Amino acid sequence: MPSTKLTNAINDGSIWTMPNDDLLFIILDEFPNKLARLKNAYLVNLRDGYDIILTRKLKLLQKAGYEATFDIKIPEERALLRLFCMGNTNSPQNANLYTTAFTQTIPKNVRETLIHGLNLNGSVDEPMVQPTYSPAMLTKAINNTPIDSEEDKVKAVAAVLKYLRMIERNIRKIEKVVESQEFKSNPNVLEKE
């Protein structure tokens, strides 16, 4: 609610003839209350902001024909949505590729580490997994497969996901490996890095 002075000035029309200093004082006096209400009504915390992006990604995939549903509150499902964003998935086939790599191909301990890291909000003590070059590396890995089969693509994505499990990795340093003939024939070569 506006302050009594402001309400009275609006109701009786004196707001239009009020000296600027008085009007400014009333507005500045009321401003902290208005700001607090605005903050509570419109601003979201960082986690909520991330979740909005993840939900939008899922809606875009569903619009493209992807039929799976996810609960953003389930850590494994939220982690997979983050991978969809990192991998710039844009089709049901691409989403299925990441789902298979994440849920069926990588070892359970790697998946659990990724689930934990991909669900962190990030702090000095425990940074979130957010490697800057991961979209490029995932794309390069998918494109560097021997016969362009789904199985080969899943193996390539799984190899990069195994590498990502370490939070403090400079993912760009694996670019040459991911583009190599050796990776093409054996994506697990990344385990040597």
Whole-number Å distance between alpha carbons of 145 and 167? 26
Whole-number Å distance between alpha carbons of 134 and 21? 55
Q: Which of 114, 63, 67 is nearest to 87 (CA)?
A: 114
Task: Decide if 161 contacts 101 (C-beta within 8 A).
Answer: yes
- Per domain, the residue ranges of the chain are 4-42, 46-192
Give the residue carrying structure tokens 């850590």.
75
Whether residue 69 has pLDDT greater than 90: yes
Its pTM surpasses 0.75? no
Give the residue carrying structure tokens 């994440």.
102
| pLDDT tens digits, 140-175 | 888 888 887 899 999 988 888 887 776 545 566 777
| pLDDT tens digits, 100-142 | 999 999 999 989 988 988 888 766 566 555 555 677 788 888 8
Per-residue confidence (pLDDT) for residue 14, from 0 to 100: 63
Whether residue 10 has pLDDT greater than 70: no
Per-residue confidence (pLDDT) for residue 130, from 0 to 100: 59
